[in-house]
Amino acid sequence: MMTTEDCELCAGPGGDLLWEDGVCRVVRVTDATGEAFPGYCRVILNRHVAEMSALTASDARHVMNVVFATERAVRQVVQPDKINLASLGNVVPHLHWHVIPRWKDDSHFPSPIWAAAQRSAALRPIPAKASLLRALTAELSTGNE
């Protein structure tokens, strides 16, 4: 089992930090995967826990509210055909949720982004960090969080 010393999400932010509170953070994925799926974000728990069921009910609700706010913000900013939400943790067993914008003509659709590409990626503009942050802050402040 991975220890906190070995965990990349304990050692670093896990992406370009957009927002953070005492429970979790939202990062923009900035590697090649993020370029292929512009607006791709992760919601990452700020402490090393592997499973949602290990959280208190309050923390679990908070994390999911942040996931849903992130989904709404990404939808608003990049206007994808679909959003995929995933929490796997098989490779990095530190609780985190993927918020992945998808388009019918993206490189992997309709398969998951971790499957083999089915076509060349359609080029889409990468949203500005400020645009995502503004939309996320607005969603978090609506009382839905």
List, for residues 19-40, the tens digit of each pLDDT value. 999 999 999 998 888 889 999 9
Integer angstrom CA distances of residue 106 from 82, 94, 101, 122: 11, 28, 10, 6
Using 50, 70 and 90 to split pLDDT, how confident is the model at 145?
A: very low
Q: What is the pLDDT of residue 143?
A: 59
Query: Which domains, from first to last, does the chain contain?
Result: 8-140 (3.30.428.10)
Closest-CA residue to 90 (of 60, 112, 72): 112
Q: What's the pTM? A: 0.93
Instruction: Output phi, psi for 83, to 5 deg.
Output: -115, 135
